[in-house]
C-alpha cells in the first residue's frame, strides 16, 4: 500500500511539474513518426553556408568600348629597368644623325628618280648585300650596280662573273650572286618585277632573312611589321638587359623585344641602335666613357 502511494505521487509530480517550457506544462510525448524524423535529422551532416563571392569581369562590347561597372583586367608586362631613360639618352647621343647608317642605309642606296617598283627592288637588293657587310661597302656595290642599270631585267641579263665583280667585296659575295639571280627571277615571274608586299613572301625569297624582310616592309612599303634586329641591335639589347634573359640570336632578340617594347617605337629602334652601335657601343672596346648610359648600363659596370 505504501509502495503504491509512492508510485502515485511520482506520477503526479511528473504530470504537474514545471519544466524548462516555462508554462507549467510539458508537451505531449512525440509519436513514433516524429521520433523517427528527429532521429534522421540528428544523423544528417551539417552543411556550412558558403560566403558568396563576386566575380568582376572586364569585357568589351562589339564597338570596343568597356561596359559600365566592369573593372579592367590587370596584365603585368615585364619591362627592363630604366629603359625609358636609356632610350632618351640614346636619342640624345644620336641627334646629329651622322652615323654611316644615316647616310648609307638601304633607303639611301636606291635611285630616287626611278619608278616606285624599281626603287623597291633596289631597296631589297641593298638589304641583301648589307648582310655581314659594312654600310660603306654596300653603298659602293649599289653605286656600281646602278651605273649598269639596276632593274630586274638588267640583273637577269648580267652573267654571274660580271655580277660578282660589281658587288665585290661585300661579305659572302659568291652566295649573294646566286641569291640575287634566283630572287630576281622569282620577282619577274610572280610579281611582275616588283617585290612582295607581305613579310611571309619576302622571307620566302632566296637570301632574304627576317631582318631584311622587316626593313623592306618599312622602307619599301611603309609598313611596320616588326623590329629589324641585326648584330648591332642584338648586341646592345643584351648589354642594356633589354631582354628578360640573355639571347643567343638576332631572331631571339627580336621576339624578346617585341614582347614589351611599345609598338609605336618599333620603327625607330633599328636605325637608332645601329648608329649607336657604329659610333659608341662598339662590338670591341665600347666607348663607355662617352656614353650617357654608363651609370645605367649593366654591361658597363662589368667592363
Backbone angles phi and psi of 66, in degrees to 5: -75, 140
Cα–Cα distances in angstroms (integers) from residue 118 to residues 61, 64, 187, 216, 241, in the given order: 46, 41, 11, 13, 40
Let me know: does 105 contact 152? Beta carbons within 8 Å: no
Q: Is 117 annotated in the active site? A: no
Cα–Cα distances in angstroms (integers) from residue 184 to residues 35, 86, 177, in the given order: 98, 41, 11
The Cα–Cα gap between 275 and 100 comes to 7
The Cα–Cα gap between 133 and 95 comes to 25
For 185, other C-beta atoms within 10 Å of its C-beta total 14
270: closest CA among 195, 217, 207?
Answer: 217
269: closest CA among 280, 285, 258?
Answer: 258
Cα angle, residue 178 at apex, residues 175 and 179 outer, rounded to 5°:
85
Looking up cell 629603359 gives 83
Looking up cell 631582318 gives 211
Catalytic-role residue among 47, 178, 211, 248: 211
Cα–Cα distances in angstroms (integers) from residue 144 to residues 141, 157, 162, in the given order: 5, 16, 11
Give the residue numbers marked as catalytic: 211
Amino acid at each position: 500500500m505504501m509502495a503504491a502511494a509512492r508510485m502515485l505521487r511520482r506520477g503526479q509530480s511528473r504530470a504537474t511539474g514545471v519544466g524548462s517550457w516555462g508554462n507549467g506544462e510539458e508537451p505531449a510525448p512525440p509519436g513514433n513518426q516524429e521520433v523517427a524524423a528527429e532521429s534522421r535529422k540528428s544523423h544528417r551532416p551539417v552543411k556550412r553556408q558558403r560566403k558568396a563571392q563576386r566575380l568582376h569581369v572586364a569585357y568589351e562590347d562589339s564597338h570596343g568600348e568597356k561596359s559600365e561597372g566592369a573593372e579592367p583586367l590587370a596584365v603585368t608586362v615585364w619591362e627592363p629597368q630604366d629603359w625609358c631613360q636609356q632610350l632618351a639618352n640614346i636619342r640624345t647621343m644620336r641627334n646629329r644623325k651622322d652615323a654611316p647608317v644615316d647616310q648609307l642605309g638601304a633607303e639611301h642606296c636606291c635611285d630616287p628618280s626611278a619608278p616606285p617598283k624599281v626603287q623597291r627592288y633596289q631597296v631589297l637588293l641593298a638589304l641583301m648585300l648589307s648582310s655581314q657587310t659594312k654600310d660603306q661597302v654596300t653603298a659602293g656595290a649599289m653605286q656600281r650596280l646602278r651605273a649598269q642599270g639596276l632593274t630586274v631585267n638588267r640583273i637577269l641579263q648580267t652573267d654571274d662573273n660580271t655580277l660578282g665583280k660589281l658587288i665585290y667585296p661585300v661579305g659572302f659575295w659568291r652566295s649573294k650572286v646566286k641569291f640575287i639571280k634566283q630572287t630576281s627571277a622569282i620577282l619577274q615571274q610572280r610579281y611582275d618585277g616588283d617585290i612582295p608586299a607581305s613579310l611571309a613572301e619576302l622571307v620566302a625569297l632566296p637570301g632574304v632573312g627576317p631582318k631584311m624582310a622587316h626593313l623592306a616592309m618599312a622602307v619599301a612599303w611603309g609598313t611596320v611589321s616588326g623590329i629589324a634586329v641585326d648584330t648591332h641591335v642584338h648586341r646592345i639589347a643584351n648589354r642594356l638587359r633589354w631582354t628578360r634573359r640573355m639571347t643567343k640570336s638576332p631572331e631571339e632578340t627580336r621576339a624578346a623585344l617585341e614582347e614589351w617594347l611599345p609598338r609605336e617605337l618599333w620603327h625607330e629602334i633599328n636605325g637608332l641602335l645601329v648608329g649607336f652601335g657604329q659610333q659608341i657601343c662598339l662590338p670591341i672596346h665600347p666607348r663607355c666613357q662617352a656614353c650617357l648610359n654608363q651609370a645605367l648600363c649593366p654591361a658597363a659596370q662589368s667592363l
